[in-house]
Amino acid sequence: GVYDIAVLGSGPAGLTAGLYGARAGLSVLVLGSETGLLSETPRLDNFPSFVSDQGGQGWIQLTKQQAASFGASFAPPGLLVSSLNQHKPKKEDENPHFVL
């Protein structure tokens, strides 16, 4: 499909961008891995309004759920970005591929 916004990265900034874009009524695709420093953080004490012992992985899941509730889409793990001149997904060598 065609998206209004493609967000590159699924860390705090990327997830927040996806959330706000979707909340504004735009079609959003968030591209990024499920791993990173935040996902490995066992405890978060410096995120406003996040009181939980779920750590970084818990924050990621809650933020993804919130963004998805407004219509944001998330690319499957392993999706590759190959070009900046077209706007359609394609398959190449049986690996998921997305062309921006």
Range of the domain at 65: 5-98
For the segment 37-82, what is each residue's pLDDT rounded down to a tens digit? 888 888 877 777 767 677 888 888 889 999 999 999 998 876 665 5
pLDDT score of 7 more than 90: yes
Average pLDDT in the 2-6 region?
90
In this prediction, residue 72 carries a pLDDT of 97
Cα distance between residue 14 and residue 86, in whole Å: 22
In this prediction, residue 85 carries a pLDDT of 52
In this prediction, residue 91 carries a pLDDT of 47
For the segment 18-37, what is each residue's pLDDT rounded down to a tens digit? 999 999 999 999 988 776 78
CA gyration radius, the chain: 15
Cα distance between residue 47 and residue 61, in whole Å: 14
Q: What is the CATH number of the domain that holds 74?
A: 3.50.50.60
Residue 86 binned pLDDT confidence (cut-offs 50, 70, 90): low
CA of 12: how far to CAs of 7, 32, 71, 73, 95, in Å? 12, 11, 18, 16, 27
Average pLDDT in the 2-31 region?
93
Domain count, the chain: 1
